Amino acid sequence: MPTVSSEELAAAAGVNSAKLRKDFSYLGSYGTRGVGYDVEYLVYQISRELGLTQDWPVVIVGIGNLGAALANYGGFASRGFRVAALIDADAAMAGKPVAGIPVQHTDDLEKIIKDNGVSIGVIATPAGAAQQVCDRLVAAGVTSILNFAPTVLSVPDGVDVRKVDLSIELQILAFHEQRKAGEEAASDGAGPAAVTREESARSADQGPDGDVPAVMPA
Amino acid sequence: MPTVSSEELAAAAGVNSAKLRKDFSYLGSYGTRGVGYDVEYLVYQISRELGLTQDWPVVIVGIGNLGAALANYGGFASRGFRVAALIDADAAMAGKPVAGIPVQHTDDLEKIIKDNGVSIGVIATPAGAAQQVCDRLVAAGVTSILNFAPTVLSVPDGVDVRKVDLSIELQILAFHEQRKAGEEAASDGAGPAAVTREESARSADQGPDGDVPAVMPA
DNA sequence: ATGTCTTTGTGAACGCGTGCACAAAGATGG
DNA sequence: CCATCTTTGTGCACGCGTTCACAAAGACAT
């Protein structure tokens, strides 16, 4: 039986082994003392807890460049997502296939949601249309929305919204870039706002995690 | 002189006023006791600290659907970013304009970077090409990379990489969705892994912040 | 069976970020 | 010029998440 110890996993992931064990313990996934975790069972447990074993039908509304990019994105299928439908307001696009899936018109939005049992919607429309689309999705039964439009959506309680702003990541890079450039100039110790830049402990940090606090950067 | 108090700002932003003041104090931006912060000066200070007053030329490599979507994205200009060039490996695309900018061939990558003084690169290529493109960008002088390809890039020290995985946000939504569905079923108290789901204190949280820890969800 | 050795699971301590509460500072009015 | 009032800037305490450290548990050898 192939197994891994928490120590091995922690080293590979770059995290603390105790934290990893504690996290696993919340899952109820029992390892074997003196041996480690059964790899196959562990994978199954985590997959199930994360919802990877389920089939999540999603609809993408707004088939412009971004919507098309999302429809073509390969990473979805392996994580349990299935693009159930593509929806666009442009009647000229109706019927045309994108990524092998025919585009349907906004008029049929409600029917599409219900027929496919969709609970997750992706909004890739222009900013002006986003709230309206959102309202219709919610009314049709969608309870989770991924919003790429540069608008903050208002939704009733019980509906989750996650906003993806593609320029924020660039912003963060630019901020660090500025610090790099200003470092030698700032080393004279003068000037206000001489916020010291601490190097990230984990050099391999490539995630969208809280490097930069809500109001002010670290 | 138009001013704002930390209290007003905090209420508007949905954060604690003391934290806001403390953050501002790191900036060295002085408010006036009894009055508040001079709006104009504050905007200038924050803009400058965040790099919004600078001009950041960026190149986008890989002009597929996603690259085109990024080139067309309106949010960049207002944040100090300027798309200096679009680069693609497909010779047939060379010269064709996308979002009003002619696509250039990968062969000229190094020259483009140097001529425009680019320090930030965006990779929107297929996974297979990403590392190679990354290496060339870095060799040409790029020190910050925004990576949309589903690969972890390895870069030398001093180069910042941020990876954007479009499916991760969906993953998080699906996870919450699963919890919603499983809540009534789990209320019988039986079964392992009955991790309680606490409602987010801030209902308006739409950001890509650490809702879900590295290894296990909250 | 008994002992040793490895690795888990977890109680307890540590550290850090957030929020409270208040003194200092400056404006404003008499 | 003094009193009062507002709002900042910040020391301090609280709470939460991470890490340490160790006892319990099981495998494996003798």
Least confident segment among A96-100, A208-212, B57-61, B118-122: A208-212
B27 and B78 housed in the same domain:
no
Residue carrying structure tokens 């061939």: B105
Q: From residue B202, how far is each of A14, B19, B206 by CA, in Å? A: 30, 16, 9
Tokens encoding B49: 């600290």
Q: What mean pLDDT do residues A196-206 have?
A: 38
A161 and A72 housed in the same domain:
yes
Q: Which residues of A touch B75 (CB under 8 A)?
A: 150, 165-167
Residue B18 or B51, more confident: B18
Protein-to-nucleotide distance from the CA of A34 to the C1' of D28, whole angstroms: 10
Q: What mean pLDDT do residues B122-145 have?
A: 97
Q: How many residues does chain A have?
A: 218
Q: What mean pLDDT do residues B65-91 have?
A: 92
Mean pLDDT (chain A) is 84
Q: Tell which of A27, A160, A184, A200 to mutate to test the B interface (max B CBs under 10 Å).
A: A160
Q: B45 lies in which domain range?
A: 3-50
CB of A94 less than 8 A from some CB of B:
no
Identify which of B63, B211, B80 has the alpha carbon closest to the alpha carbon of residue A207: B211
Q: How far is B87 from chain A (nearest CA, A)?
A: 17
Tokens encoding B190: 């039986």
Q: From residue A205, how far is each of A118, A181, A194, A208, B156 by CA, in Å? A: 34, 21, 24, 9, 13
Burial class of residue A130 (count of CB atoms within 10 Å of its CB; 0-12, 13-18, 19+): buried
A71 and A26 housed in the same domain:
no
Q: How far apart are CA B83 and CA B94, in angstroms?
A: 16
CB of A18 less than 8 A from some CB of B:
no
| Count of domains for chain B | 2
Let me know: does A61 contact A122? Beta carbons within 8 Å.
yes
Protein-to-nucleotide distance from the CA of A31 to the C1' of C1, whole angstroms: 26
Residue finishing a domain among B143, B166, B189: B166
pLDDT band at A214 (very low <50, low <70, confident <90, very high): very low
B66 and B143 housed in the same domain:
yes
Residue A37 domain flag: yes
pLDDT score at B30: 86
B89 and B117 housed in the same domain:
yes
Q: HSE-up of A183 (CA within 13 Å, CB side)?
A: 11
CB of A120 less than 8 A from some CB of B:
yes
pLDDT tens digits for range B87-123 = 999 999 999 999 999 999 999 999 999 999 999 999 9
Percent of chain B with pLDDT over 70: 83
Let me know: does B32 contact B38? Beta carbons within 8 Å.
yes
pLDDT score at A50: 87
pLDDT band at A113 (very low <50, low <70, confident <90, very high): very high
Q: What mean pLDDT do residues A161-178 have?
A: 88
CB of A16 less than 8 A from some CB of B:
no
Q: How far apart are CA A27 and CA A189, in angstroms?
A: 50
Q: Which of residues 137-156 of A touch B (CB under 8 A)?
A: 143-147, 150, 152-153
Which of A76-90, B174-188, B199-213 has the largest mean confidence? A76-90
Residue A7 domain flag: yes
SS3 call for A86: strand
B36 and B98 housed in the same domain:
no
Q: Which of residues 25-54 of B touch A (CB under 8 A)?
A: 26-29, 45, 49-51, 54
Residue B213 domain flag: no
pLDDT score at A183: 55
Q: What angle do CA A104, A110, A114 make, to 5 degrees?
A: 105
Let me know: does A94 contact A31? Beta carbons within 8 Å.
no
pLDDT score at A207: 52
Let me know: does A99 contact A70? Beta carbons within 8 Å.
no
Identify which of B89, B93, B129, B170 has the alpha carbon closest to the alpha carbon of residue A73: B170
Residue B114 domain flag: yes
Residue A197 domain flag: no
Let me know: does B52 contact B114? Beta carbons within 8 Å.
no
Task: Report chain C positions within 7 A of protein CB atoms.
Answer: 5-11, 18-21, 24-28
Let me know: does B139 contact B114? Beta carbons within 8 Å.
no
Least confident segment among B19-23, B42-46, B95-99, B206-210: B206-210
Residue A147 domain flag: yes
Q: From residue A138, how far is each of A62, A131, A160, A171, B203 by CA, in Å? A: 16, 10, 10, 31, 17
Residue B174 domain flag: no
Q: How far apart are CA A109 and CA A86, in angstroms?
A: 10
CB of A196 less than 8 A from some CB of B:
no
Residue A109, pLDDT above cutoff 80: yes
B71 and B144 housed in the same domain:
yes
Q: What mean pLDDT do residues B2-12 have?
A: 95
B89 and B70 housed in the same domain:
yes
Let me know: does A85 contact A101? Beta carbons within 8 Å.
yes
Residue finishing a domain among B125, B140, B166: B166
Q: What mean pLDDT do residues A166-172 have?
A: 86
pLDDT score at B178: 87
A149 and A102 housed in the same domain:
yes
- Distance from CA of residue B23 to its chain's centroid? 21
Residue B25, pLDDT above cutoff 50: yes
Neighbours of A21 (CB within 10 A): 16
Residue B74 domain flag: yes
Neighbours of B15 (CB within 10 A): 17
B153 and B82 housed in the same domain:
yes
Residues touching nucleic chain C (CB < 7 Å): A 4-7, 17-18, 21-22, 24-25, 30-37, 213; B 15-16, 18-19, 22, 32-35
CB contact under 8 Å between B66 and A65, yes or no, is: yes
pLDDT tens digits for range A126-147 = 999 999 999 999 999 999 999 9
Q: What mean pLDDT do residues A28-47 have?
A: 92
Strand partners, A82: A57
A35 and A61 housed in the same domain:
no
Residue B66 sits in a domain whose CATH number is: 3.40.50.720
Residue finishing a domain among A131, A147, A166: A166
Q: How far apart are CA B154 and CA B171, in angstroms?
A: 25
SS3 call for B56: strand
A9 and A88 housed in the same domain:
no
